[in-house]
Amino acid sequence: MSKTLEAIQNLEDKLQILLTNYEFLKEENEILLQNVGKLQQQLTKNQQEIATQKKKYDLLKIAKTIDGSNESTRETKLKINALIREIDKCIIQLSE
């Protein structure tokens, strides 16, 4: 019977260790999930900032081309044509 009690005690000890490890891993997982959330927010913010800067850059390129620079005249003309098409679409939608 003492072997049975030893086995039970051994099992209880291992179960206690297992529960301790489980709680530790559970807390660590929560911390990591919080970090993932923060990083996702930061990534979204950075992507928005990149998009804003790209728009500013494109506008600056257009302004420089209109200002007399011959470097990206074709790109500017294409952009102006795209903007005109977009304005025409808006006018059509407003007239409907």
Q: DSSP state, 4?
A: H
Say which residue the tokens 């009690």 belong to.
5
Q: Are 26 and 41 in contact (CB under 8 A)?
A: no
State yes or no: pLDDT of 87 exceeds 60. yes
State yes or no: pLDDT of 11 exceeds 80. yes
pTM of this prediction exceeds 0.75? no
52-66 pLDDT per residue, tens: 999 999 888 777 767
The amino acid present at 34, given as its one-letter code, is Q
Q: 14-18, 22-26, 57-61: lowest mean pLDDT where? A: 57-61
Burial 36-60 (b: 16+ CB within 10 A, else e): eeeeeeeeeeeeeeeeeeeeeeeee
